[in-house]
Amino acid sequence: MKIFTAQQIRDADAYTIMHTPISSIDLMEKAAMACTNWICKNYGEQLPVYIFCGMGNNGGDGLAITRLLLNRGYQAKAIILHHSPNASADHTTNYQALRHRYPDSIHHVHEIKDLPPVPENALIADAIFGTGLSRPAEGWMADAIEQLSHYYDQHTVIAIDIPSGLMADASSAHMPVIKAHHTLSFEFYKLAFLLPENAALTGEVHILSIGLLPDYIAQTPARYQVTEATHIHDIYRPRKPFSHKGTFGHALLIAGSEGKMGAAVLSAKACLHTGAGLLTCHVPRCGYDIIQISVPSAMCLTDEQKDHSSVFHNNVATPEAASRYKVIGIGPGLGTAAGTAWALEKLLEHYHSPMVLDADALNILGASPHLLRKVPQQSLLTPHPKEFERLFGKTANDIERLELLSEKARALQLNILLKGRYTAMAFPDGSVWFNATGNAGMAKGGSGDVLTGILTSLLAQGYAPKEAMLMGVYLHGLAGDYAAAECSQEAMTAEDIIRLLGKVFLELRKYA
């Protein structure tokens, strides 16, 4: 799903109005109807509904929702906040329609002391500012938003299109924003909904269709997208009947150190459960029995060192040796011992195909930034936010961090993701995708190690790096969702994610 900017959403509106008999006021009526239906489906008419409206089209939506709810027998009230002397044309039309039919339903607010008391059981709808917010709210409007944001604690708050005060495609850090339990958003995800800094603001996001023309959406390029199941169905290639283990690549996984062999085991299992043909693990001597016993399908090479790895570069020291492996995955539980860092530098001198770098491999790069330039182009880097900061530095807010992510992916020609609720994936072509599968049950040690194994496996099987990243992150999250459905977010572990990869692939095959 494409994520459009506020300007592109206005253009989609204008395009629909120009190419269909639908007028701008009709579009507002459709938006208001979609919200009204949603409210009626979820809340009974015994609850009073207080709808806070601004002076633009978001306020216009609020006025139309008030009328439609009153038509259905709800006790709805529109509270109009006069932040500007000029109402938009469609706001004015809806104001007149409401005043004509339900003159007592309107309350005007010109300054903060005019805000009416709200009964304890009321439902609150926030239609003050939508995607037209062009600057942070100031003066008494900032105070009003601040005051209204406290309704969250005692009432159910429903934001219309976007919580007021939130910028659709800029950072709203440190700005007053309404906090909502639900956001009813028209047609598109807004970039703001995917940023961790806004996690507490939108509540559950529901995308309501209002009939914008699909041609505009199809024709218009978007810098940001959310991965959908259909994208993954297009990428997935089922195994052919006459294939053999060589068809699916030989992966070399360099992982583990004393006390962190579990990370290597999880990565190795995930790699095999995603379909790699052959897997060799390079581990310190302390890890030999562990790998051989817990991952019998994998081969095992041991390092000279007992507790950390220091000579793994020797596995690919000659072109002939390197050609044995289709891909290298490195990092989970690896540790950052000086010998390990030295061997990583040597490895990067010898090995020039795309690889997967995670965890301590990234921490080593962060401590020696000159090594980043040696990482083979098209490699996959999988930092969580702290690792990202060690690699590329601090940023003031999430939008700047996203820009930095995208800039580094382009400049270094690497596929770099940034883990989170909506993992962001930046590609050398400048595009940025978000993944929506996954859940908070995955916020546990080991989940990331599983992802490294999955990505290494997909590269081993010959998926192109961008496809491998899009697909791997999606499948990882989906397996996590199946695990949570089966045994709860609390009880699930990284091993459940691995186990449920089977169900994910069975599901994928249905669409092959």
Ligand X SMILES: NC(=O)C1=CN([C@@H]2O[C@H](COP(=O)(O)OP(=O)(O)OC[C@H]3O[C@@H](n4cnc5c(N)ncnc54)[C@H](OP(=O)(O)O)[C@@H]3O)[C@@H](O)[C@H]2O)[C@@H](O)CC1
Ligand Y SMILES: Nc1ncnc2c1ncn2[C@@H]1O[C@H](COP(=O)(O)OP(=O)(O)O)[C@@H](O)[C@H]1O
9 makes contact with ligand X (CB under 6 A): yes
Picking from 405, 455, 398, the residue whose alpha carbon sits closest to that of residue 430 is 405
Based on CB atoms, which residue is closest to ligand X, 188 or 433? 188
CB of 27 to ligand Y, least distance (A): 34
Task: Look up residue 220 and give its two tokens.
Answer: 């218009």
Nearer Cβ to ligand Y (145/469): 469
For ligand Y, the binding residues in 382-401 under the rule CB under 6 A are: 384
Q: Of 217 and 442, which has the nearer Cβ to ligand Y?
A: 442
Q: In angstroms, rounded to a whole number, what is the distance separating the alpha carbons of residues 196 and 207?
A: 19
CA dist., res. 307 & res. 304, Å (int): 9
Six token digits for residue 407:
């800039």
Is there a contact between 76 and 69 (Cβ–Cβ < 8 Å)? yes
Going by their DSSP bridges, the two strands 424-426 and 299-302 should be labelled as unpaired
Which of residues 132 and 329 has its CB atom nearest to ligand X in the complex?
132
* Region of 134-142, 321-329, 364-372, 454-462 interacting with ligand X (CB under 6 A): 134-142
Question: Which lies closer to ligand Y via its Cβ, residue 316 or residue 479?
Answer: 479
E-strand ranges in 82-178 read 106-109, 123-127, 156-160
**36 makes contact with ligand X (CB under 6 A):** no
Structure tokens at 151: 């309704």
Q: Does 277 bind ligand X (CB under 6 A)?
A: no
When asked if residue 84 is in the footprint of ligand X (CB under 6 A), the reply is yes
Tell me which stretch binds K ion (CB under 5 A): 90-98, 99-107, 152-160, 312-320: 152-160
Q: Is 503 annotated as a binding residue?
A: no
Question: Is residue 182 at the binding interface for ligand Y, with CB under 6 A as the rule?
Answer: no
132 is in an annotated binding site: yes
For residue 45, what are its two tokens? 């008419």
Element spanning 356, H or E: strand 356-357
- Contacts with ligand Y by CB under 6 A: the residue count is 17
CA distances (Å), origin 461, targets 214, 239, 373, 480, 496: 35, 10, 26, 22, 23
CA angle, corner 490, sides to 485 and 491, nearest 5? 75
152 interacts with ligand X by CB under 6 A: no
Flag whether 56 is marked binding. no
* Comparison of 206 and 444: residue with beta carbon closer to K ion: 206
Among 89, 229, 321, 440, binds ligand Y (CB under 6 A): 440
Q: Any idea what the Cα angle at residue 456 is, between residues 339 and 493, rounded to 5°?
A: 90
91, with CB counted inside 10 A (0-12, 13-18, 19+), is buried
Region of 9-17, 194-202, 404-412, 457-465 interacting with ligand X (CB under 6 A)? 9-17
Residue 136 token pair: 């942070």
Q: Binding marks (x or -) toward K ion, 183..222, rule CB under 5 A?
A: ----------------------------------------
Give the helix ranges, DSSP H, for 106-174: 139-149, 151-154
Q: How far is the CB of 179 from K ion (least distance, A)?
A: 12
**Residue 126 binding result from ligand X, ligand Y, K ion, none, given CB thresholds of 5 to 8 Å by partner type:** K ion
**Positions in the binding site for ligand X (CB under 6 A):** 9, 12-13, 27-28, 31, 54-61, 83-84, 88, 129-137, 141, 160-161, 186-187, 210, 212
